[in-house]
Chains A and B, each alone.
Chain A
Amino acid sequence: MNHDYQYTPKNGFSKWLDKRLPLMRFADENLLSFPTPKNLNYFYTFGFILTMCLVTQIITGIVLAMHYVPNTSLAFDSIEHIMRDVNYGWLIRYMHSNGASMFFLAVFIHMFRGLYYGSYKEPREIIWILGVVIFLLMIITGFMGYVLPWGQMSFWGATVITNLVATIPVIGEPVLTLLLGGYSVDNPTLNRFFSLHYLLPFVIFGVVILHIWALHVTGNNNPTGIEVKDDKDTISFHPYYTVKDLFAYVVFLLMFCYFIFYNPNILGHPDNYIEADPMLTPAHIVPEWYLLPFYAILRAVPDKLMGVLLMFGSIVVLFFLPWLDTMKVKSARYRPLYKIFFLFFVIFCLLLGYLGAKPPEGIYLLLSRVSTIYYFAFFLVIMPILSRIEKPSPMPIGISNPAINNTSDSDGGVSGTPSYAMDSK
């Protein structure tokens, strides 16, 4: 890394400030001159995209809260008020509702990226764990946000999901009553969901800061999975990655804008434009698309408590990933077997998403079960076994040196004297 690089304040004011609050130094070291592996591809731009998603959700959310009323008799109407009467209310609400979908789309890609290039492995375990915490908070926040419009899907989604708590033996019922503030989803529930939906994004923001802090201690992983050895392997974050991230974000925004302006309701459910009716269940209760894979796992299990445990387990298992996959080689690029199993994992995750929207019967139920088994087997069986038996394909010596490493050492951090004769940049 750039060990000899030092931030030097240029003018009188920045010298004065640097002695008192080294804010500029902090920004310079973390945003501008931060040494970043030079071989990051576009999959690595999703961290920035996700930050922008969070900022978008917070800004539009704060504005929506100025017009929304968290009361069962007024909530649905206040959403229509936002859509029809508030200046640009339709735009802000569509940004917020579709923004949630974009947020999840980006986070899924970000996570699959980490899974493919082994970004959860030593020394980046904490980054990964904090990421899973953020993902969990996002799910809770997204779920509560979906309840606020108080449509039929809001109400019945909330009923089904909160009822999962009641499956816990003994304490389930009292805890459910405590969560709902009553005996069913009602005004107290809506009120507290609104309060927490406003709070949690700021909690997410806090964990994101820890996530980035941890990232800036170890430095980025990269597509080769080989650790950075010296400053030949890195370039400064600015302008190289600021520009790359911004370009990716603009492309991402184009897709976002397609949804906002041309198809704003395609990702939602029409039943949510019907006001909540506690006496009438819609024929089909489906969660938002980004929760469908988990919903499919829930329904794949015939036993109620087991279904709930597996659904939560599907996220909890991610916390243990760094210790389930102990293969030293990080990147799937040099893991011919893992690459294939990973591909099937992605396919089964997408399949679970499809099945979550289908009725749990016949072939759909069977496929849900097969996919659920693969999902867990991938982490609990395939990863530990591959860590033992897989023989990695030949790896280059370093990020800047494509010559094949002939030593049998399969560790990412290769020792020896690297040659930079073939340095391409």
Chain B
Amino acid sequence: MTDTNDNQDPSRRDFLYITTAVFGATGAASVAWPLIDQLNPSASVSALSSIEADISSIPEGGSMKVAWRGKPIFIRRRTKEEIELAEREDSLNLPHPEKDLDRVINKEWLVVVGVCTHLGCVPIADSGDFGGWFCPCHGSHYDISGRIRKGPAPTNLEIPPYEFVSENIIKIG
């Protein structure tokens, strides 16, 4: 193995070692990748990543919970007062500053992922100190724009990608 015992050109031998090692590593990686990637969402899970919700039945001040990718989505039809409150509070010193207008497509409808940004619990509607949601697990309070106001959660409730297909249908995902 060592070049003290043979008179072969060491650089030629090194080349063979390195080539073998590189081929071996590439082969191992190409076998390892399928074993890792199989853990990722399968085609059937990914296929469910878009849903449509009929919002015609929600009264003003009411809300609806739909499931998207296994997570609840809160769709809330906000009252005039609630919209005004959310916009007035834009100017406050918020933990995660975002304007209410940037969080909605249509001011009347707030669509958020109903998963606390702390550790993933589902917050309870119409509770907490700020008229929005309250997470029972570790005590995060969200306002009527889904913004974090108090508690351990680091960010505002996430806004899913969505669009209004028609006046009464929202497509999420």
Given contacts A188-B42, A279-B65, contact A163 B119 (CB under 8 A): yes
Given contacts A177-B41, A361-B139, contact A182 B69 (CB under 8 A): yes
Q: Does A130 contact B (CB under 8 A)?
A: no
Q: Does B97 contact A (CB under 8 A)?
A: no
* Interface residue SS majority, chain B: loop
B106 CB, nearest partner CB in chain A, Å: 24
Given contacts A181-B42, A279-B65, contact A186 B70 (CB under 8 A): yes
Q: Count A-side interface residues using an 8 Å CB cutoff.
A: 32
Of residues 15 through 36 on chain B, the ones whose CB sits less than 8 Å from some CB of chain A are 36
Which stretch in A44-52, A281-289, A313-321, A377-385 binds the other chain?
A281-289
> Roughly how many angstroms separate A184 CA and B36 CA in the complex, as a whole number?
18
For B68, give the chain A residue with the smallest CB separation: A183
Q: Does B88 contact A (CB under 8 A)?
A: no
Which residues in B have their C-beta under 8 angstroms from that of A307?
A: 152
Q: Does A359 contact B (CB under 8 A)?
A: yes
Of residues 41 through 92 on chain B, the ones whose CB sits less than 8 Å from some CB of chain A are 41-42, 45, 49, 65, 67, 69-72
Which residues in A have their C-beta under 8 angstroms from that of B139?
A: 359-361
Which residues in A have their C-beta under 8 angstroms from that of B115?
A: 184
CB distance A281 to B137 under 8 Å?
yes
Which residues in A have their C-beta under 8 angstroms from that of B138?
A: 299, 360
Interchain CB contact (< 8 A) of A160 among B41, B42, B119, B154: B119
> Roughly how many angstroms separate A186 CA and B42 CA in the complex, as a whole number?
12
Interchain CB contact (< 8 A) of A177 among B40, B65, B122: B40
> Roughly how many angstroms separate A299 CA and B57 CA in the complex, as a whole number?
40
Given contacts A159-B121, A177-B40, contact A304 B154 (CB under 8 A): yes
Q: Does B161 contact A (CB under 8 A)?
A: no
User: A-side interface residues toward B, CB under 8 Å?
Assistant: 156, 159-160, 162-164, 177-179, 181-186, 188, 192, 278-285, 299, 302, 304, 307, 359-361
A sample of 17 cross-chain residue pairs with beta-carbon separation below 8 angstroms, ordered by A number, consists of A156-B121, A178-B36, A178-B39, A178-B40, A181-B42, A183-B49, A183-B71, A185-B70, A188-B42, A188-B45, A278-B70, A279-B72, A279-B122, A281-B124, A285-B121, A304-B153, A361-B139
